[in-house]
């Protein structure tokens, strides 16, 4: 046996393992940093200005009827008779235009309150064909209730134009391009309404920040002129995990979905999370959220509404902690012009509303994949080469050589093993 050569191999092996041991903590630290960078910085945003062939999304317009005391009194007289008890009007108002509080429900233990909330909504809420009339888009008339479709919200049943959730389809119905020009919608409202302008995937919800909301009283004129900032997603973004892209697509529902909305959105997630909190605290949800034929959520009676009233502040606090991501497909709309609140002398029985885009957008943001798994592997491979002077090719080559010369390798291992044992025995005998 050539002991000098063996000593050289041994020195190299010791040097290699010492270097490996000392480098391992630094290698682990830098590898974790690479992994964190890959997970947290996988997506980048860039500005796109090649706008000739874009289809820009016209916003969803949602119309919700708001409380009108005179209407409640008149309908209550015709339905219950002019001699009905006055507490009934307060109860009906809080049920039909429920906002999370029902203080008059406390009286239902002593007095007789209507128990059929569905019938109350049917009688006291204005139907679509009575609420929205004379609709036109790009100066083309259409039947209002063919496009303003019912949408369950925290404000009751509203009617929404160009809404994914109302139409139950994933594609946008109304888009604008160089052929159509900027979109504009006009319609008349036959009652006091709350007007919401939002992304087609969204829904109106309480305490919504950033959503355009305007109150339009009967006989008033309201005009909104908007611009739109689109966010386009590159096809490869969908291959990333939700934690990497930090958003959800419409088909990616949360685990505790309540089945109220067809597609995922941030606003819909908050609403369904609030419903879940109501079920946890009071074992029921309000009559606006329990949609017959769409979900099987238990509806609160007056005792349940009393419970919801007591825990309202708690629910409003806890809903801020709901784990809801933003939607990946969510255009942003900003007001360019908002007409002052003024009476329209020519229209005492209706309100006139006009919503328009100021122009076709000339820029948009594009969400792209900045770092793929291949980029991560290349960086990790370079790191392995830096610390250990090796590569995947060398590892494969080492395995190949071991397999090819396995007999010689086994012989060397046996020699080293038995030689070491004999050497230790000689040392013991010398003692």
Same domain, 315 and 419: no
Same-domain status, 239 and 256: yes
pLDDT value at position 149?
Answer: 96
Question: Does residue 50 sit within a domain?
Answer: no
Q: Answer whether 102's CB lies under 8 Å from 117's CB.
A: no
Q: Collect all residues with Cβ–Cβ distance below 8 Å to 189 and sequence separation of at least 6.
A: 63, 131, 132, 133, 216, 218, 350, 351, 353
Report yes or no on 358 lying in a domain: yes
Domain presence at residue 48: no
Nearest alpha carbon to residue 184 among 172, 176, 192: 176
pLDDT of residue 308: 95
- Asked, for residue 183, whether it belongs to a domain, the answer is yes
pLDDT in tens, the chain (431 residues): 456 666 666 677 777 777 777 777 777 777 777 777 666 667 878 888 877 678 889 999 999 999 888 888 888 887 777 776 777 888 889 999 999 999 989 888 887 888 888 888 998 999 999 999 999 999 999 999 999 999 999 999 999 999 999 999 888 889 998 899 999 999 999 999 999 999 999 999 988 777 899 999 998 999 999 999 888 888 888 888 888 888 999 999 888 888 889 999 999 999 999 999 999 999 999 999 887 666 678 999 999 999 999 999 999 999 988 989 999 988 889 999 999 877 655 656 889 999 999 998 888 888 888 776 766 677 777 777 766 667 667 777 777 777 777 777 777 777 777 777 776 777 777 66
**What pLDDT, on the 0 to 100 scale, is given for residue 315?**
93
Same domain, 311 and 424: no
Q: Is residue 47 part of a domain?
A: no
Say yes or no: 231 and 375 in one domain: no
What the block records as the tokens of 90 is: 């307060």
- Residue 135's domain comprises 56-369
pLDDT at 142 (0 to 100): 95
341 and 298 fall within a common domain: yes
Q: Answer yes or no: do 334 and 376 share one domain.
A: no
In a domain, 289, yes or no: yes
Cβ atoms of 45 and 245 closer than 8 Å: no
- 152 Cβ contact list (under 8 Å, min separation 6): 158, 260, 288, 289, 291, 294
Domain boundary among 320, 353, 369: 369
Domain identity same for 330 and 381: no
Whether 200 and 260 share a structural domain: yes
Name the pTM for this structure. Answer: 0.80
Domain boundary among 323, 343, 369: 369
Has residue 49 been placed in a domain?
A: no
Give phi and psi for 353, each to the nearest 5.
Answer: -130, 135
Q: Which domain-ending residue is among 336, 369, 402?
A: 369
| H or E segment to which residue 166 belongs | helix 164-167
Same domain for 256 and 228, yes or no, is yes
Q: How far is the C-alpha of 310 from the C-alpha of 102, rounded, in Å?
A: 10
Q: 380 and 358, same structural domain?
A: no
Say if residue 295 is in the same domain as residue 407. no
In a domain, 51, yes or no: no
What total of structural domains would you count in the chain? 2
Residues 410 and 285 in one domain: no
């Amino acid at each position: 046996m050539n002991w000098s050569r063996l000593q050289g191999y041994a020195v190299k092996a010791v040097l290699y393992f010492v270097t490996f041991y000392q480098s391992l903590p630094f290698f682990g630290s830098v590898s974790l940093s690479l992994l964190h960078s890959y997970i947290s910085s996988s997506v980048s945003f860039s500005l796109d200005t090649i706008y000739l062939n874009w289809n820009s999304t016209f916003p969803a317009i949602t119309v919700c009827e708001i409380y009108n005391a005179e209407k409640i009194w008149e309908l209550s007289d015709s339905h219950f008779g002019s001699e009905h008890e006055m507490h009934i009007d307060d109860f009906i108002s809080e049920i039909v235009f429920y906002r999370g509080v029902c203080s008059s429900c406390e009286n239902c233990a002593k007095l007789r309150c209507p128990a059929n909330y569905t019938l109350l909504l049917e009688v006291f809420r204005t139907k679509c064909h009575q609420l929205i009339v004379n609709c036109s888009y790009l100066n083309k008339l259409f039947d209002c209730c063919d496009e303003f479709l019912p949408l369950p919200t925290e404000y009751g049943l509203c009617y929404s134009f160009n809404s994914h959730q109302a139409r139950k389809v994933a594609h946008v119905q109304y888009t604008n391009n160089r052929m159509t020009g900027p979109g504009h919608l006009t319609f008349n409202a036959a009652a006091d309404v709350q007007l919401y302008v939002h992304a087609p995937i969204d829904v109106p919800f309480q305490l919504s920040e950033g959503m355009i909301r305007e109150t339009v009283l009967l006989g008033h004129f309201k005009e909104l002129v908007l611009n739109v900032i689109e966010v386009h997603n590159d096809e490869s973004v969908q291959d990333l995990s939700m934690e990497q892209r930090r958003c959800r697509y419409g088909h990616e529902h949360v685990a505790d979905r309540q089945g109220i909305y067809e597609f995922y959105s941030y606003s819909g997630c908050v609403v369904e999370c609030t419903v879940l909190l109501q079920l946890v605290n009071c074992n029921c949800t309000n009559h606006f959220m329990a949609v017959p034929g769409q979900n099987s959520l238990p509806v609160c009676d007056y005792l349940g509404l009393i419970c919801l009233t007591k825990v309202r502040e708690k629910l409003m606090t806890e809903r801020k902690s709901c784990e809801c991501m933003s939607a990946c497909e969510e255009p942003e709309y900003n007001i360019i012009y908002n007409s002052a609140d003024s009476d329209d002398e020519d229209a005492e029985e209706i309100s006139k509303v006009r919503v328009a885009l100021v122009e076709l957008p000339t820029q948009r943001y594009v969400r792209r994949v900045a770092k793929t798994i291949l980029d991560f592997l290349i960086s990790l491979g370079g790191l392995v080469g830096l610390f250990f002077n090796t590569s995947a090719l060398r590892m494969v080559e080492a395995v190949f050589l071991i397999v090819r010369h396995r007999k010689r390798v086994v012989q060397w291992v046996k020699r080293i093993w038995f030689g070491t044992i004999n050497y230790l025995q000689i040392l013991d005998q010398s003692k």
